[in-house]
Chain A
Amino acid sequence: MIGLLLKDFYIVRQYMKTVLFMLAFFALISAGLDNPATFFEAFIIFMSMMVTITSFSYDALAKWDYYALSLPVSRKEIVASKYLLSVILCFGGTIISFLISAVILKFKPMEAFGVKEHLYATGAIISITFFFLAILLPLIFKFGVEKCRLLLIAIFAAPTAAMVALSKMGVSMPSEASLIAFIKLLPVLVIPFFLLSFFISVRIFSGKEI
């Protein structure tokens, strides 16, 4: 499985360079925003997720699955390597983005947004990212990455649409205290959900004819 991860690392390396270049660009833009730190952080973590998805695109282009299944790796390991890749990339992205936005906050401090709030925001963003990945990865294993590009937009649009709908219906935004309580609860919800997603993906991929 380490071999598969190494392969993914080699194939996305170039793409990651492009991403880093874009990050520098966005860091400049975000400097002009009211809340540069969290915006920047969300962006980095989102890009980490995109790198995972891109690794699927490269695999599809090279017909990698077909070849991988002639190597001594099980289908479970192939799935596991992708989940592990997404965890590594997202945590890597989170650490980098936390440090960068901490620097941004140092120079452009925000009111009522200290280290504690910063950690909460980061925790919320990464939990949501894993929530999205948990939905997206089984779909990619089932339908292939190209069909999932559209689904990706749908997955992102749905919560936004739900929020808008809720506020239109007069449901008020929750108080800060209950929001923080919810954020604290998030990992407890997301970790089992992510694991469940892994087992579903293994199931899907094991039954798939390549």
Chain B
Amino acid sequence: MDYAIAIRDLSKSFKNFKLKNISFSVPKGSIMGFIGENGAGKTTTIKLMLNQLKAETGEIGILGLDHRKDEKKIKSDIGVVLDECYFHENIKPKHISRIMARIYKNWDESLFYSYIDQFRLPGNKTTKEFSRGMKLKLSIATALSHHPKLLILDEATSGLDPVVRNEILDLFLEFIQDENHSILFSSHITSDLEKIADYITFLHDGEIIFSKSKDSLLDNYGLLLCGAADFGAVDKADIIGQRESRFGHEILVRNKKQMKQKYKGLTIDPVTIEDIMLFYMRGEEFK
């Protein structure tokens, strides 16, 4: 399979945080959801990919090229939207177009203005007057207007209202229609990823918990529901994480079908990506 991103054994340590030998890859033509709590290492991973930080170990291949040797070639073929990183306050969209036309060889001015129209952004106002949502839309318009092959999005939909978020998710789905296009979409809004992602990589405390196709995750995992009495009978090895409430226990389990056989009489509910993420994090408390 061809990969848009292939990361192997990547590590980086800071004073209070360590990214521990992570490996994952994004198949060409797919959307990879990159999830994890704040501080899990998502932004660190992206910064390493962009050579903003220097990795201690590991290899990063982007669009089949080495991220250090072919940095410029890679960067002219990717579009990046970073969290809380906007343009200068006294700059206008029309300035951005003129600047980018001199930075990207294949900058498409008419495409940029068509996004500006589509997002209903005022082309002649400084970004100081823009709301957070408008600034984010401007960043997305900029990231898309040089015909990139890969989009790297760091929290690109957080802070947007549901209507705008859907509008933007549709745009990403449209982008991915071309089979040579791929997206790495880091977010903690898991519902967005559930809508559009093909794969999910879950990063927790600097480690990859899993990197799998979304459908296999939703097929594989289940929520086992039981009362306090039955809880004692559940094999501890089967519990990934659990939540206790007035009505009993909810337990995240793997191999849903096998579990159905093992715990006959107990209900197993389907899960969401958010459940998986939350229960994994709770699992630590449980251990």
Determine if A66 and B75 form an interchain contact, defined as CB atoms under 8 angstroms apart: no
Among A7-29, those with CB < 8 Å from B are: 7, 10-11, 13-14
Determine, out of B34-42, B85-93, B184-192, the stretch whose residues face the partner at the interface: B85-93
Interface of B is mostly: loop
Residue among B54, B86, B91, B103 making CB contact with A71, cutoff 8 Å: B103
| Nearest chain B CB to A25 CB, angstrom units | 23
Q: Mark A23-59, 1 if CB is under 8 A from B, else 0.
A: 0000000000000000000000000000000000011
Counting contact residues on chain B (CB < 8 A from A), the size range is: 20 to 34
Which residues of chain B have C-beta atoms less than 8 A from A174's C-beta? none
| CB of B76 closer than 8 Å to a CB of A | yes
A13 and B126 alpha carbons, distance in the complex (Å) = 13
Determine if B99 and A10 form an interchain contact, defined as CB atoms under 8 angstroms apart: yes
Determine if A67 and B104 form an interchain contact, defined as CB atoms under 8 angstroms apart: no
| CB of A108 closer than 8 Å to a CB of B | no
| CB of B51 closer than 8 Å to a CB of A | yes
Determine if B53 and A209 form an interchain contact, defined as CB atoms under 8 angstroms apart: yes
A61 and B84 alpha carbons, distance in the complex (Å) = 11
A69 and B95 alpha carbons, distance in the complex (Å) = 19
Q: A3-B99, A70-B50, A210-B47 are in contact. Are A11 and B88 (CB under 8 A)?
A: yes
Which residues of chain B have C-beta atoms less than 8 A from A71's C-beta? 75, 103-104
Residue among A6, A7, A209 making CB contact with B52, cutoff 8 Å: A209
Determine if A10 and B103 form an interchain contact, defined as CB atoms under 8 angstroms apart: no
| CB of B264 closer than 8 Å to a CB of A | no
| CB of A199 closer than 8 Å to a CB of B | no
Q: A4-B103, A10-B95, A71-B103 are in contact. Are A66 and B53 (CB under 8 A)?
A: no
A209 and B51 alpha carbons, distance in the complex (Å) = 9
Between-chain CB contacts (< 8 Å), 13 pairs? A2-B102, A3-B102, A4-B99, A10-B88, A58-B90, A62-B87, A64-B88, A67-B82, A67-B86, A70-B75, A72-B103, A73-B75, A209-B53
Taking Cβ atoms with an 8 Å cutoff, the residues of B that contact A are: 47, 50-54, 71-73, 75-76, 78, 80, 82, 84-91, 95, 98-104, 152
